[in-house]
Each structure stands twice: as C-alpha cells, then as structure tokens.
Amino acid sequence: MVVGDASVEIDVLVIGAGPGGYVAAIRAAQLGKSVLVVDKSELGGVCLNRGCIPSKALISAAHHYEAAAHSSAIGITAENVKVDFAKVQEWKSGIIKKQTGGVTQLLKGNKIQVFNGEALFINDQEARVFNDNETARYRFNHCIIATGSRPIELKAFPYGGRILSSTEALELQEIPQSLIVIGGGYIGIELGQTYAKFGTKVTVLEGSDAVLPGFEKEMSQLVARNLKKLDVEVFTEAMAQGCEQTDKDVTVTFTVKGEEKKVTADYVLVTVGRRPNTDGDLSLELAGIEVGERGLIKVNEQCQTNVPHIYAIGDIVSGLALAHKASYEGKVAAEAIAGMPSVVDYKCIPAVVFSDPEIASVGLNETEAKAKGINVAVGKFPYGANGRAQSMNLKEGFVKLVGDKDSGLLLGAQIVGAEASNLIAEMGLAIEMGATLEDIALTIHAHPTLGEITMEAAEVAMGHPIHILK
C-alpha cells in the first residue's frame, strides 16, 4: 500500500463486504480483474454478523428448545428442560466466526486485497481509503458500491438503553421476561416469535391490518395463529406514539383505532424497516452519482449508475432488501464490468420468512396474476394430507401454485409450512425454466417427502388431484 497522494491503480474497487460486495469481488477476480474490497466493519456485512445468520441460529435454538419441552403428543417427554442462553449466544457467535472466516479465505484465495476502513470518493475515478492507522489513494477503472442498509430509527424511539434495533436484540445475554415489538414484518415476527418460544411475554404492534403485510393473508393467518398459541399479544392497526424508560423497564404508548393504550416490558424492539447507507461519508456527489428518493441509487439493468463505470447493488438500489438479491446483483455487475451481456431479471426472487410455520413465495401470487388479466389456474394442497408432514408432526400449512390456465405455465408459488424456505427453490427453478403445471405433476417426487406437496398442488390445479377429494 502506498501512503500519501500517489494513486494505486486497481481494476475494480468494491465498497462494502456484505453478501453483495464480497460476491461481486470474487466474481470480478474470477474474470481476471484486480480487486480491492473496502469495509469499515466485519467481512460478511449485516447478513453474516448481525442479520441472516445469527437470527437463524437463534431461531434454530428456539425450535430445539420447543421440541425438547413440548413433544408429549408423539410420546416423548423431558423434565426440567432449561436454556443456557449465554451458551446459545456462544454457539451463535461460533457460527458467525466460521462464516466470516470462510469469506476471509475465499477473498484471500481469489487474490483479492482487503482494506478494513472507509472509502471516500475524490472524483469519479479515484477514492481515498483510510482507518485510524493508515490511508491510501486508489485510482479505479470500475467501482461497485455495496454499502447495504441499517435499521430505521424512529424519532420517538431512539436506539439506546431499553430501545433495541435488531442488532441489539440478537446480542442479548439473557432471555427477557417481556418484549414489545414495534413492527410486525418479517424481522419483528422472526425475533418476536423466537423469544416467545424461549418464554418471553411478547407484544407486537403492527400498523397494518395483519402481521406480515407483504404476504397474502391466508399465509400470514397461520403464523398469527401460532403467535396466539405462544401467548403473543398482537395489536394490528396500532400506531406507537412514544415511550418512557426507567432503569428496569420501558412503557410504550400506542393507539388502536383512536383508543390510547400502554404496555410495559423489559425492552422494546423497533423493526419498521431499513434505510440505505448512502447518506454517510462516501461523498457520492464528488463522483457525480445520482441518488433518488428514499436514498436509493438509480441503476440500469446491468446495475450501472448514471456514471457508467460505477455500479451499485443490494439494499442501496430499488427492490427488496434481501441478501440473495444483493449477491445476484453483485455477479451481474462483475460480469458487466468484464464485458459480458449479463442483466438482472427479477422474475424469480424468492421471499422467505423464518417464522413458525415458515413462509415462502416466488413469482406471482393469485391476486397479482388476476390483476394482470391472466386466466388463472390455482392448485392448493395441504401439508396435513402429506405422509411426511404427518410423520414429522408438522401438519400446518399448504402449497399453492398459480398457473396460466390457457398455456399451463407456472407463474408463481406460495408455501407456508415446514421447510418452506427450502421447498421454494424448486418452484423458482420451474418458473425460470418455463415449466408448466403438467411438468411439475409429471416429475416423480420421492416418497415420503414434503416435496410431494408441490406435485400434488400441480395436480389440483390441473383438476385431477389424487390424495384429496376434488
């Protein structure tokens, strides 16, 4: 590294080492580019360190605890089942360490330079990278901005003390006695339900008329039913107004249909969305990069900004803030830089909630398909009629396929139930390949498996179900 004003030449500068940035860096290196990755925190970004991976670890631990404590229905009982939450957190931290260590090795193995610090644009082809100990100036041929997002902070609920973002909620060292969750979207429901399984008294405040408002109600209703079984109190059409903290608890004031209410708990978790990290010290304006509404950077189908050799991916561009979307865009951007004709195609981005039961969706749902004027064929098959689901004692849920009745093409799939997050991949592949409902029905699925439910749902859509009465 050269310190001072002399510029070091680099093919591709990647700002941000999350699931978008590090994937983009690896793909660019594979395509023969010299690459520098700059990130001011940990490799792997929010996903590996403060989001996807740690949250799923806690969710998994909660499932294990629930199964150990509540399996009497299948003849298994255990006494004095306990949770050592410090040990759970230690186990979770070990997973994060392995994941981030893997990313470190991948970057090293692909001969990618890594700088732990910040990047600041000087102009559209130069940037200064720095930390407390060193600084350097780089001249790049191309740049990929992948700075991600952070939790939105409400003015009436500033983070600190007993007001938590998802980051702090994932790092609690003791299971709270009670928790208020503001926001019934996927993050709030995943974390709220997890702590409820560990024994926390949870209250959810959601502004719309149902939890998980981004999904069809027939799916979210099953999650709402399980929340009720866990004694989670859910207030919909609720608006949080403010709070008062003490050294022991926090009281939230909220309104439901004009009626004021109050609830007190150990902590309040605010999960009302995420804000793109484009308002910091990147000095995007010095590079001439246009930032649109809500802080999102405008890009074309190859992830190029208005400055053609600078690209932007992930949470800082339009679309769902999903790790797998960021990774996908990272590969497209790297390939575009290498001169390949790669473009983004968002027809099949799966959306998954690791609730209980799990929810997953890809492609069009029934409402969306009908709104497009499509003559819709719908097939819905319940988990309860599937032998594997019964043998797992996981009978809640269904698979719903949406097809074009005229052409037979599969347009979308919605799954709520055990392993929905894994089952949705087959449906995404089917849509990408232009498969028909008949293709799915004629594909021999192993028995007994949950995968058979997709085959059965296709048969329902075609009008000749085998294992349920028409």
Catalytic residue among 64, 70, 309, 447: 447
| Contact by Cβ (8 Å): 183, 214 | no
Q: Is 378 exposed, middle or buried (0-12, 13-18, 19+ CB in 10 A)?
A: middle
Strands across the sheet containing 259-265 = 238-245, 250-256, 259-265
- Examine the residue annotation and report whether 447 is marked as an active-site residue of this protein: yes
Buried b / exposed e along 308-334 (16+ C-beta atoms within 10 A) = eebbbbbbbbeeebbbbbbbbbbbbbb
- The SS3 assignment for 8 reads strand
CA 161/CA 159 separation, integer angstroms:
7
CA 220/CA 184 separation, integer angstroms:
11
| Contact by Cβ (8 Å): 411, 402 | yes
| Contact by Cβ (8 Å): 211, 236 | yes
Q: What are phi and psi of 329, to 5 degrees?
A: -65, -35
| Contact by Cβ (8 Å): 161, 25 | no
Buried b / exposed e along 180-218 (16+ C-beta atoms within 10 A) = bbbbbbbbbbbbbbbbbbbbbbbbbbbbeebbbeebbee
Q: Which residues have a Cβ under 8 Å from the Cβ of 416 and sit 6 or more positions away?
A: 219, 222, 223, 357, 358, 359, 360, 396, 397, 398
CA 29/CA 44 separation, integer angstroms:
17
Catalytic residues: 447
